[in-house]
Amino acid sequence: MLKLLERLGDFVLYYVNQAGRMGIFLFFSLINIFKPPYKISPIIKQIYIIGTLSVFVVIFTGAFTGMVLALQGHTTLRKFGADGLLGSAVALSLIRELGPVLAALMVTGRAGSAICAEIGIMRISEQIDALDCMAIDPYKYIMAPKFIAAIIAMPLLTAIFDVVGIFGGYMVGVGLLGANEGAYFSSMYNDVEFNDVYMGMVKSLCFGLLIVWITSAKGYFIHLERGGGFGAEGVSRATTNAVVLSSVSILVVDYFLTSVLL
Amino acid sequence: MNEKPVIELIEVTKTFGSEQVLRGINLSVMEGKTTVIVGGSGQGKSIIIKHILGLIKPDSGKVLVYGKDINNISKKELKEIRTNFGVLFQNAALFDSMTVYDNVALPLRERTNMSEKEIGEIVNEKLALMDVPGSNDKYPAQISGGMKKRVGLARALVLNPKIVFFDEPTTGLDVAKSNEIYRVFFKSQAQLGYTSVIVSHDVPKIFKLADYVAMLNNGIIEACISPEEFQLSDNPAIKNYVETTMGPLYSSEGMEGG
* Mean pLDDT value of segment B20-27: 92
3-state helix, strand, coil split of chain A in percent (to 5) is 90, 0, 10
Q: pLDDT tier at B135 (50, 70, 90 boundaries)?
A: confident
Chain B: residue nearest A125 by CA?
B93
Closest CA to A261 of A188, A193, A191, A202: A202
Distances (CA, A) of A57 to A74, A107, A116, A180, A212: 26, 9, 19, 29, 18
The Cα–Cα gap between B257 and A255 comes to: 83
Given this model, what pLDDT does residue B249 score?
55
Q: What is the pTM of this model?
A: 0.88
Across the interface, whether the CB atoms of B91 and A125 are under 8 A apart is answered yes
Query: A127: distance to nearest CA of chain B, Å?
Result: 5
Given this model, what pLDDT does residue A228 score?
65
Checking if the pLDDT of B5 tops 80, the result is yes
Q: Which residues of B touch A38 (CB under 8 A)?
A: none
Q: Which residues of A touch B106 (CB under 8 A)?
A: 134, 136
ipTM of the complex: 0.86
Given this model, what pLDDT does residue B248 score?
62
* Mean pLDDT value of segment B112-129: 91
Spacing of C-alpha B96 from chain mean position: 22
Across the interface, whether the CB atoms of A133 and B83 are under 8 A apart is answered no
Q: Is the bond leading into B248 cis (omega within 30 degrees of zero)?
A: no
Q: Does B110 touch chain A (CB under 8 A)?
A: yes
Given this model, what pLDDT does residue B201 score?
82
Query: B238: distance to nearest CA of chain A, Å?
Result: 31
Please report, as a single letter, which amino acid is at residue B225: I
Chain A: residue nearest B83 by CA?
A135
Distances (CA, A) of B141 to A126, A128, B99, B132, B232: 15, 18, 10, 15, 43
CB A179 within 8 Å of CB A67: no
The Cα–Cα gap between A99 and A161 comes to: 6
Across the interface, whether the CB atoms of A129 and B111 are under 8 A apart is answered no
Backbone phi and psi for residue B149, each to the nearest 5 degrees, phi listed first = -65, -40
A118, A126, A136 ranked by CB distance to B111: nearest: A136
Chain B: residue nearest A140 by CA?
B110
Given this model, what pLDDT does residue B207 score?
86
Backbone phi and psi for residue B211, each to the nearest 5 degrees, phi listed first = -90, -35
Given this model, what pLDDT does residue A102 score?
97
Given this model, what pLDDT does residue A68 score?
97
CB A63 within 8 Å of CB A164: yes
| Strand-pair category, B19-30 with B5-16 | antiparallel
Mutate to test the interface with A, among B70, B73, B78, B87 (most CBs of A within 10 A): B87
Given this model, what pLDDT does residue B257 score?
41
Across the interface, whether the CB atoms of B87 and A125 are under 8 A apart is answered no
The Cα–Cα gap between B242 and B230 comes to: 8
Closest CA to A49 of A138, A157, A123: A157
pLDDT tens-digit readout, B154-187: 999 899 899 999 998 888 778 887 888 888 888 8
Interface size A-B, in CB pairs within 8 Å, comes to 53
The Cα–Cα gap between A194 and A204 comes to: 15
The percent of residues in chain B predicted with pLDDT above 90, rounded, is 52
pLDDT tens-digit readout, B186-242: 888 888 889 999 998 888 888 888 999 999 998 999 889 998 998 888 888 888 888
- In DSSP terms, which residues pair with B28 in a beta bridge? B8
HEC secondary structure over chain B: CCCCEEEEEEEEEEEECCEEEEEEEEEEEECCCEEEEECCCCCCHHHHHHHHHCCCCCCEEEEEECCEECCCCCHHHHHHHHCCEEEECCCCCCCCCCCHHHHHHHHHHHHCCCCHHHHHHHHHHHHHHCCCCCCCCCCHHHCCHHHHHHHHHHHHHCCCCCEEEEECCCCCCCHHHHHHHHHHHHHHHHHHCCEEEEECCCCCHHHHCCCEEEEEECCEEEEEECHHHHHCCCCHHHHHHHHHHHCHHHCHHHHHHC
Q: Which residues of A touch B89 (CB under 8 A)?
A: 126, 129-130
Checking if the pLDDT of B258 tops 60, the result is no
Query: A153: distance to nearest CA of chain B, Å?
Result: 23
Given this model, what pLDDT does residue B2 score?
63
Given this model, what pLDDT does residue B209 score?
86
Checking if the pLDDT of B255 tops 50, the result is no
Tell the burial category of B215 from Cβ atoms under 10 Å away from its Cβ (0-12, 13-18, 19+): buried
Given this model, what pLDDT does residue B244 score?
84
Low-confidence ranges of chain A (pLDDT < 50): none
